[in-house]
Structure 1
């Protein structure tokens, strides 16, 4: 009987060990959007953009600011990352 309980506890511990890393990875907080916004704006000053790309970057920046003001850092960071990709930074 004790062997069964020990084996059962070991299997439960193994399952928990496998489940915790993905949960912890998803719980990681995004970077503060204010910091990412500063980086993106600095890159935008240095970037040489076509009129079309500048319009896209400006639109993404506006969306990011809106989300940042709403304390939605994850989505704001996503918009800013997209803007950085457009600027190839």
Structure 2
């Protein structure tokens, strides 16, 4: 005799699987692309000397992380620099 599990049990496993699945996460942007965007926006930005120094320091830190294949941390530095630029 074939016993089938109750439908409620199947539904519970299905819902539990959805709860722990990562979903459709967006792929991270390569740090090289973020760096291109940052440098393009730096050419048109009107910054004070202090803000320019801050952006250059963040860019240098980002490039260092990008060269180490640490795209996540590099992009964090580039994002901070873009915020200083007003983007």
- Matched residues in 2 for 1:62 and 1:82: separation? 12
SS at match of 1:43: helix
Larger Rg: 2
Could you tell me how far 1:17 is from its partner in structure 2?
1.3
Q: State TM-score, norm by structure 1.
A: 0.84
1:29 deviates by 3.2
- Listed as ranges, the gaps of 5+ residues in structure 1 are none
Choose which of 58, 71, 75 in structure 2 pairs with 1:73. Answer: 71
Divergent runs of 4+, >4 A: none
1:52 aligns with 2:53: no
- Aligned-pair CA distance for 1:8: 1.7
The structure richer in helix per residue is 1
How many residue pairs match? The answer is 85
Mapped to 2, the partners of 1:67 and 1:75 lie a distance apart of 6
Deviation (angstroms), 1:2: 3.9
Root-mean-square deviation (Å): 1.7
Offset at residue 25 of structure 1 (A): 5.2
Deviation of the 1:15 alpha carbon: 1.1
Aligned counterparts, 1:29-44, within 5 A: 29-44=27-42
Point out where structure 2 has 5 or more consecutive residues left out of the alignment: none
User: What CA distance in whole angstroms lies between the structure 2 residues aligned with 1:3 and 1:51?
Assistant: 70
